[in-house]
């Protein structure tokens, strides 16, 4: 690549006082702009600041860079694709990388989850899945099935569909109630019953039975679909209780409801399998994905759909569009090339197996933080962990914010916080030594913010 390209020169010339124009997402903008945390480059397990400080990545970016950063195979694939074909319209036209990527993704999915609809993010994936569910019932003669059921503390991105079925209060309360006809399962977390669980907690499978109550209230004939994250991630890592997801599947089958797993975080090795569906032996009707599909390198999301659902749409005159939905950048060539290359890396380096192999080492290591000041609970699952810290009086989120800031600036550790919960989800390439390094740094951070 041409190192002296105009884009590169503009980036190099950027001064810290140029921070004003970007209204940053899910960010405390004023605080950031007075004390910015700027990431300049990355390689493997590390980010680097502009002054060259190496910061170990404890969260795979934002739960997405599962293969680590700037992996040569993925970078080369993106470069080659950009030279060969920058863009092709996905409406009525196709390109080789799109079909190849879809086939590779479908191969990884269980059962007859055979068809992939591409979009550009997890939010679009959630909205796409909900729309496919509603359209499916319309075209199969049950158009009265319009209700969608999500879960408290669920996160399905920030589109209107996603926030409607989602259950994170701040993500909903400012934006009205545009999507009517939605109900919510209770969340599955109970500290008293589950504190300091490694893996799936023993307590809580019965909470799936609430679906029976909700379905009875609305009448099963009005319910289109149930959407859950197999492990709720963004709300602070809530592993599913043992047996919970199987029970949800049984109840959906009993009433003919579609079950959607939002695997935007849990997909592509995070829980030691291609998808959480495999870990739990449950085949949902649709799986949404994003993030890890191409190790976070190019925006991409999608929905994997079971064959009978796809087949139901493939009717009518051959020239007719079967689903009135799609995005300009659905299956973008660069995203697809990156996905194929990332899937190569996952396969060739056996990274899903690696995640499974070190899951218990990771869980044991994280649990050593149990007795540090303010630690109220620790949860682990796959290569994920959450540490709940006690909130400061009258300042929910302040300790978490300080922990994140101290981690980056003082401990050379990047991590994600949700209010006062630290969430960890390192790249799957993490070595055993790096497990110790991350845990040591977290310990220092927790003490520093005590
Ligand atoms: C389960 C889940 N669904 C959807 C999303 C939204 O993804 P995006 O930010 O790519 O829109 C996220 C993001 O964290 C997620 O965790």
pLDDT in tens, 411-443: 999 999 999 999 999 999 999 999 999 999 999
Answer yes or no: is pLDDT of 2 > 60: no
What rounded mean pLDDT belongs to the chain?
95
Question: Kind of pairing, strands 147-151 and 113-119?
Answer: unpaired
First to last CA, the chain: 47
pLDDT bracket for residue 16 (50, 70, 90):
low
Domains and CATH numbers, the chain: 16-71+350-448 (3.90.1150.10), 75-348 (3.40.640.10)
Q: What is the DSSP string of 149-197?
A: EEETT----SSHHHHHH---HHHHTTS---S-SEEEEPP---HHHHTT-
pLDDT 10s digits, 205-230:
999 999 999 999 999 999 999 999 99
Q: CB 18: neighbour CB atoms within 10 A? A: 9
* Per-residue model confidence (pLDDT) at position 226: 98
Which amino acid residue places its CA nearest to atom 7 of ligand 1?
Answer: 122
- Residue from 153, 162, 234, 294 to probe ligand 1 pocket by mutation (most atoms less than 8 Å from CB): 234
Answer yes or no: is pLDDT of 3 > 80: no
Q: Closest ligand 1 atom to the C-alpha of 154? A: 1
Answer yes or no: is pLDDT of 13 > 70: no
Answer yes or no: is pLDDT of 75 > 60: yes
State the Cα–Cα distance between residues 311 and 298, nearest whole angstrom: 30
Answer yes or no: is pLDDT of 139 > 80: yes
Nearest-5° Cα angle at 199, 435 to 69: 40
* Pocket of ligand 1 from Cβ distances under 6 Å: 121-123, 126, 155-157, 229, 233-234, 262, 264-265, 290, 301
State the Cα–Cα distance between residues 128 and 225, nearest whole angstrom: 13
**Dist. CA 156 → ligand 1 center (Å):** 6
pLDDT 10s digits, 301-342:
999 999 999 999 999 999 999 999 999 999 999 999 999 999
* Per-residue model confidence (pLDDT) at position 10: 67
Task: Average the pLDDT over 82-93 and give the result.
Answer: 98
**Dist. CA 25 → ligand 1 center (Å):** 13
Task: Average the pLDDT over 36-64 and give the result.
Answer: 97
**Dist. CA 395 → ligand 1 center (Å):** 26
Answer yes or no: is pLDDT of 57 > 90: yes
Q: CB 196: neighbour CB atoms within 10 A? A: 14
Answer yes or no: is pLDDT of 286 > 70: yes
- Of 24-38, 48-62, 166-180, 407-421, the poorest mean pLDDT is in 166-180
**Dist. CA 262 → ligand 1 center (Å):** 9
Answer yes or no: is pLDDT of 406 > 50: yes
Task: Average the pLDDT over 252-278 and give the result.
Answer: 98
In sequence order, what are the residues at sequence separation of 6 or more whose Cβ sits closer than 8 angstroms to the Cβ of residue 247? 205, 208, 209
* Per-residue model confidence (pLDDT) at position 8: 66
- Would you say 292 and 64 are in contact if contact means Cβ atoms under 8 Å apart? yes
Task: Average the pLDDT over 62-91 and give the result.
Answer: 98
Task: Average the pLDDT over 355-370 and give the result.
Answer: 98
Answer yes or no: is pLDDT of 14 > 90: no
Q: Closest ligand 1 atom to the C-alpha of 162? A: 4
**Dist. CA 448 → ligand 1 center (Å):** 30
Answer yes or no: is pLDDT of 68 > 90: yes
């Amino acid at each position: 690549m041409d190192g002296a390209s105009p884009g590169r020169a503009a980036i190099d010339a950027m001064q810290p006082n140029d921070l004003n124009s970007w209204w940053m997402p899910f960010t405390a903008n004023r605080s950031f702009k007075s004390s910015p945390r700027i990431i300049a480059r990355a390689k493997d397990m590390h980010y680097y600041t502009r002054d060259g400080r190496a910061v170990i990545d404890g969260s795979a970016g934002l739960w997405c860079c599962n293969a680590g950063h700037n992996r040569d195979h993925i970078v080369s694939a993106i470069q080659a694709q950009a030279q060969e074909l920058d863009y092709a319209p996905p409406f009525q036209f196709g390109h080789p990388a799109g079909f190849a990527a879809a086939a590779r993704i479908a191969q990884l999915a269980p059962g007859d989850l055979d068809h992939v609809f591409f979009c550009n993010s997890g939010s679009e994936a959630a909205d796409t899945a909900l729309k496919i569910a509603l359209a499916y019932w319309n075209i199969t003669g049950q158009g009265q099935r319009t209700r969608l059921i999500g879960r408290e503390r669920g996160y399905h991105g920030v589109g209107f569909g996603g926030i409607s079925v989602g259950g994170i209060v701040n993500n909903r309360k400012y934006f009205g109630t545009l999507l009517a006809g939605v109900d919510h399962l209770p969340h599955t977390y109970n500290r008293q019953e589950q504190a300091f669980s490694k893996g799936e907690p023993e307590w809580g499978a019965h909470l799936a039975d609430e679906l029976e109550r909700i379905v009875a209230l609305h009448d099963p004939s009005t319910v289109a679909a149930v959407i859950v994250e197999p492990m709720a991630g963004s709300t602070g890592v809530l592993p599913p209780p043992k047996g919970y997801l199987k029970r949800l599947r049984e109840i959906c089958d009993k009433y003919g409801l579609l079950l959607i797993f939002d695997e935007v975080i849990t997909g592509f090795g995070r829980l030691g399998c291609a998808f959480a569906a495999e870990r739990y032996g449950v085949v949902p009707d649709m799986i949404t994905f994003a993030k890890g599909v191409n190790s976070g390198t190019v925006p991409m999301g999608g929905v994997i759909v079971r064959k009978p659902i796809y087949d139901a749409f493939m009717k009518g005159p051959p020239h007719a569009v079967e689903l009135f939905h799609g995005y300009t950048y659905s299956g973008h060539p660069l995203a697809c090339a990156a996905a194929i290359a990332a899937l190569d890396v996952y396969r060739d380096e056996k990274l899903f197996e690696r995640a499974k192999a070190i899951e218990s080492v990771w869980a044991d290591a994280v649990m050593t933080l149990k007795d540090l000041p303010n630690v109220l609970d620790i949860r682990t699952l796959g290569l994920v962990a959450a540490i709940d810290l006690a909130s400061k009086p009258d300042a929910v989120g302040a300790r978490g914010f300080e922990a994140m800031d101290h981690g980056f600036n003082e401990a050379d550790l990047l991590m994600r916080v949700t209010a006062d919960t630290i969430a960890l989800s390192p790249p799957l390439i993490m070595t055993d030594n790096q497990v110790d390094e991350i845990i040591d740094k977290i310990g220092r951070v927790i003490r520093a913010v005590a």
